[in-house]
Structure 1
Amino acid sequence: MKKLILIASIAAAVLAGGCTNAPSENEGSGQEQQTSAPTTEPTASAQPGNEATPAPTAPQAGNGTTGEDGQAQTFATPKDAASAVITALKNKDIKALNAYVHPENGLRFSPYAHIDSESAVHFGPGKLPELNDDTVYTWGAYDGSGEPIKLTFGQYYDRFVYDHDYANPQETGWDTILGSGNTTPNMKEIYPDSYVVDYHFKGFDEKNEGMDWASLILVLQEHEGGWYVSAIAHSGWTI
């Protein structure tokens, strides 16, 4: 009988020891979950971090308007360059126009389609005067009278550059001269590697039977992979 009591006591002690060890194992696994939780929280906070949307993107896009700071603007094609130049002329934006001028050849102005390289006024890269500059230049000679064309840059601009809305012409000649009157265009002789764009109006009043036609011709040249304007020539009916 004493043996049975002793065996029962030992069994009870073993069972009691097993019950006390169970909570200890559960507590250990709970601690592992708690320590692993902080490792996931930093990961979650890093994901919404602004690395996926870099802040420099918008400012870089804004800096694309290179012409605004007076530096040379590069265009991959002559048509792109011509479009930028004619827009600058329309807006009277001399700062932008300066950026489109050929970096080596500068910009020459001619009142007629036949460019006189000796008398035509030439400005170096980035050297265009302001429209309100009061310096008087001799731009060549008037057709017919032969009198010298003495005008300020602003006066010449209004008379021999943007005297019509050439940004919206009736016709556009891509590497083709559409009108020349009695003068012979010589752009390709002076600038043999050039591409010319002729913004042309066939006339403005029917009673003039086309004798009031007008053109603005851009002479574009390539330089180190980009296209720039080297000359701007006005053209119209001449005697």
Structure 2
Amino acid sequence: MKRQTIFASIAGVVLLVVLALITVPMMDDDATSPAEDHPDDQTTEQEQVEDGPDLARELDEETADQLLSDYEQVFLDVVDNVDDEQYAVDFDTQQEVHDHFKQVMTPSQSQTIFLNYFEADDQGVYVIPMDGKTFINPDEDYELTERGDERYTIEQTQSNPQMGTVTFRYDIRYSNDQEAWLIRETESEQIEDTDAEEVAENVIHAIDDQDMSALADWTHTSHGILFSPYVNVSDEDLIFSEAEIANFDEDDEIYTWGVYDGRGDDIDLTPEDYFDEFLPTNLLIEPDDIYVNEFSQHGNVLNNIDDYFPDATVVEYHHEGTDEYDGMDWFSIHVVLEENEHGQYRVVALVSDQWTI
């Protein structure tokens, strides 16, 4: 009995030793596995971040709005501050202008803008006088389209009497060097071209409505409008700018518009009185005839419009007169039109014609 007890005790000790030998390695494995595996996991994740493809950058509307505003502003920074000789005050060299422009545009676009609007010489940066540059307006609706490879286009269609209807398009690219979106290229497309007769009709209606602001909109920006009381145009005829015409409503100054044919005395009238006497349009809203480049001769005064404006399109609104006065109360208004830089017809002269003694 004692021998069995001893044998059982020895067997128990052996069993405990065997279990201990088996359990310790298992515990070591459990304890060390996370420590051994974790660095490998970290390395793998880091390699995935470093070696994986870059995420494509997206141009959101807020950033696009700011880019459009900045693009216009950097241009105005140069052209809005010039001396009496049209030289930029704050920029002395072409390189300084390019350095300023590169905030928002690529070097090629900067060069294009400079060649179109500036000249550099020993005196500095000369701002070429011309009609103002038109920009996409971030405050109005525009279309932002993704083209792939961190490239976008921004398009906007604008309309006004001076340029007609035009779609402007900007090509936008992301610069890794500057870590910024830049305007790479700009272009514009004329959508429609208002013909001469339609422009003339708008002008006649503007005069009839006494809407000087509308008439100013149809004025040729570079030439203004020449006003001739008779079809024999001369260098003595008055020419008014777009801004002056827009102010005719409030202009009480008496101007000498020419000399009355057959009487010899000066035509001294305010703009309002001149329009009443020499540009009566109430009977021309539905004219008896409309002539385009026909240069008809109705009275005794020689019509020399074609000689004075050889490149113009002339639309004549004609009233034949009434039986009551045997047709002697006829009159015409010749709307003389030339194309502006946008290829749009705009008024360069309003020439009156009526029976004279």
2:283/2:319 contact within 8 Å kept: no
1:175/1:195 contact within 8 Å kept: yes
* Partner of residue 208, structure 2: 90
Q: CA deviation at 1:135?
A: 0.3
Given candidates 161, 175, 179, the residue that maps to 2:293 is 175
Given candidates 325, 330, 340, the residue that maps to 1:208 is 325
Pairing 1:125–2:245 present: no
* Partner of residue 162, structure 1: 280
Given candidates 266, 270, 281, the residue that maps to 1:148 is 266
Q: Deviations over 1:114-137 (max 9, x none)?
A: 11222x111123321323421000
Q: Report the CA distance shift for 1:127/1:156 in structure 2 as closer, same or farther (over 3 A).
A: same
Q: CA deviation at 1:99?
A: 1.0
Q: TM-score, normalised by structure 2?
A: 0.46
Given candidates 312, 320, 326, the residue that maps to 1:194 is 312
Q: Which letter maps to 1:121? A: L
When structure 1 is superposed on structure 2, of 96-105 and 163-172 the one drifting more is 163-172
2:287/2:318 contact within 8 Å kept: yes
Q: Where in structure 2 are the equivalents of 1:1-239 lying within 5 Å? A: 56=141, 64=159, 66-67=160-161, 72-74=162-164, 75-118=193-236, 120-128=237-245, 129-162=247-280, 164-204=282-322, 206-224=323-341, 225-239=343-357
Q: CA deviation at 1:186?
A: 1.0
Q: Report the CA distance shift for 1:180/1:216 in structure 2 as closer, same or farther (over 3 A).
A: same
2:297/2:303 contact within 8 Å kept: no
Q: How far apart, in 2, do the equivalents of 1:107 and 1:182 lie?
A: 24
Q: TM-score, normalised by structure 1?
A: 0.67
Q: Report the CA distance shift for 1:214/1:164 in structure 2 as closer, same or farther (over 3 A).
A: farther
Q: Deviations over 1:34-90 (max 9, x none)?
A: xxxxxxxxxxxxxxxxxxxxx949xx89x74x35xxxx3535321221122112111
Q: How far apart, in 2, do the equivalents of 1:237 and 1:85 lie?
A: 23
Gaps of 5+ in 1: 1-54
1:101/1:126 contact within 8 Å kept: no
Q: Report the CA distance shift for 1:173/1:216 in structure 2 as closer, same or farther (over 3 A).
A: same
Q: Report the CA distance shift for 1:124/1:56 in structure 2 as closer, same or farther (over 3 A).
A: closer
Q: Which letter maps to 2:240? A: F
SS in 2 for 1:189: helix
Q: CA deviation at 1:209?
A: 1.9
Q: CA deviation at 1:165?
A: 2.5
Aligned-residue sequence identity (percent) comes to 33
Q: How far apart, in 1, do the equivalents of 2:324 and 2:222 lie?
A: 45
Q: Report the CA distance shift for 1:233/1:177 in structure 2 as closer, same or farther (over 3 A).
A: same
Gaps of 5+ in 2: 1-139, 143-155, 165-192
Q: Report the CA distance shift for 1:207/1:161 in structure 2 as closer, same or farther (over 3 A).
A: closer
2:295/2:306 contact within 8 Å kept: no
SS in 1 for 2:353: strand
Q: CA deviation at 1:179?
A: 4.3
SS in 1 for 2:249: coil
Q: Report the CA distance shift for 1:180/1:117 in structure 2 as closer, same or farther (over 3 A).
A: farther
Residues paired across the two proteins, number: 175
